[in-house]
Amino acid sequence: MKFSQSSLTVGELATGQALSVPVFHIAGKDSHAPKVFIQANVHGAEVQGNAVIFQLMKQLEQMDVRGEVTLLPLANPLGINQKSGEFTLGRFDPITGVNWNREYLDHKTDIASWYQQHRHLDDKALIAAYRLQLIESCNAHLNSEWGVTTGKRLAVTLQSLAHQADIVIDLHTGPKSCKHMYCPEYDVAAASLFSIPYTLVIPNDFGGAMDEAAFCPWWQLTEIANSQGRRLKVPVAAFTLELGSQERIDMDDALNDAKGILAYLSQRGVVSEYVQAAEMARYACYLKDYKKFHAPIAGMVEYKAELGHILYSGETLANVLRLDRFGTHEELTELVLNQDCVPILHFASASVYQGTELYKVMTNLFKLNL
């Protein structure tokens, strides 16, 4: 089976040209199999997800696809095309500064009331009605009288597509980063089905990101239903995958990551073939234990700690060179942490202001069991 291509309009440039996103679609042969939505490159510099989608399509076209699959690479044309010097300045709206991945809609539905009105429906009908309500809420927001911002239009347009799926995967990268993923607490078992060594276990709350926008309303509905004695499992799964460093395309590694995603999709019955996740030790930490270390002083930074490897308390994280202090004991400052951690990502530039977010490290890690 081949993917068909269409185009999604997500905005308009000042010259009038449409901002459009390529949409790839395959119907799947079993309408009962889970529907999948995967997008990539919402942050402009985080390009590797496009290569992963490319490899995923190459693989899927050779496979027996049961569930509907919708893929949106290059999902943020404004962010991707926004250069500033030799790098892509695509992390936030260049006009407002708002992070492109914090613009998804919090529906703020009164879910308790909604459930009261729809509790008579069976599970399938309940889910269908709620899904429709989420999509309509997106559309209403997009058509509000006073308009919506550029970023909101992009995000909510993507979100209205994502709400149609049962599995939502948002492909990102860190700045300089090892592979890791975000997984909601209620679905932590799923993290072992991917081929990613580090998992951040996030609360089931809405924080503005796509994964949260996709699973939160469902988790909330499930909570209410369960509190009223109905046994309902959260019907939507959503994850953010951070596939290494930004500003990097590696086709071979993309194939690895595509296979990792296929392993999860295989487990979920989206494809008939069995695809095995890579064998590896998997570790996780809770979001509250994911620490941002900010540069205590400004200067030129030699990043020393290896990403994705344990750094013991007292070992060198980075060195800060301060030439203006040459000849003093502050000319070269060794930065250390006083607890064990695994550095997951570090800042992209080697010169920093005081306060720059230098490293993100996992602390209090625990092992995930397959």
Q: Which of residues 247-266 bind its own copies (CB under 8 A)?
A: 247-251
Residue 344 parent element (H or E): strand 342-346
What is the nearest approach in angstroms of its own copies to the Cβ of residue 219? 25
- What lies within 8 Å, CB to CB, of 22 at 6+ separation is 5, 6, 7, 8, 72, 73, 74
User: Could you say whether residue 317 binds its own copies (CB under 8 A)?
Assistant: no
Please say which residue, 161 or 277, places its beta carbon nearer to its own copies. Answer: 161
Listed in order, strand segments (DSSP E) in 27-118 are 36-40, 69-72, 83-84, 87-88
User: Which 332-361 positions form the footprint of its own copies (CB under 8 A)?
Assistant: 332, 347-357
What is the nearest approach in angstroms of its own copies to the Cβ of residue 353? 5
Task: Calculate the alpha carbon distances from 68 to 35, 241, 269, 299 in Å.
Answer: 5, 20, 11, 51
Q: Which two tokens stand for residue 179?
A: 């592979």
What is the nearest approach in angstroms of its own copies to the Cβ of residue 93? 8
User: Could you say whether residue 146 binds its own copies (CB under 8 A)?
Assistant: yes
User: Which 282-311 positions form the footprint of its own copies (CB under 8 A)?
Assistant: 291-303
**Rounded to whole angstroms, how far apart are CA atoms 148 and 122?**
36
User: Could you say whether residue 155 binds its own copies (CB under 8 A)?
Assistant: no
What is the nearest approach in angstroms of its own copies to the Cβ of residue 238? 22
User: Could you say whether residue 112 binds its own copies (CB under 8 A)?
Assistant: no
Q: Which of 82, 204, 316, 333 binds its own copies (CB under 8 A)?
A: 82
Q: How far out from the chain centre does Cα 48 lie?
A: 13
User: Could you say whether residue 15 binds its own copies (CB under 8 A)?
Assistant: yes
- Nearest CA among 174, 138, 351 for reference residue 248: 174
Give the orientation angle of helix 251-267 with respect to helix 48-60, to 10 degrees. 60
Q: Which of 36, 38, 69, 78 binds its own copies (CB under 8 A)?
A: 78
User: Could you say whether residue 77 binds its own copies (CB under 8 A)?
Assistant: yes
User: Could you say whether residue 139 binds its own copies (CB under 8 A)?
Assistant: no
Phi-psi region of 148 (alpha: psi -120 to 50; beta: other; left: phi over 0): beta
Contact 71, 265 (CB under 8 A): no
What is the nearest approach in angstroms of its own copies to the Cβ of residue 326? 6
Helix (H, G, I), strand (E, B) or coil at 35: coil
What is the nearest approach in angstroms of its own copies to the Cβ of residue 335? 10
Please say which residue, 11 or 197, places its beta carbon nearer to its own copies. Answer: 11
User: Could you say whether residue 137 binds its own copies (CB under 8 A)?
Assistant: no
User: Could you say whether residue 158 binds its own copies (CB under 8 A)?
Assistant: no
Q: Which of 81, 226, 272, 276 binds its own copies (CB under 8 A)?
A: 81
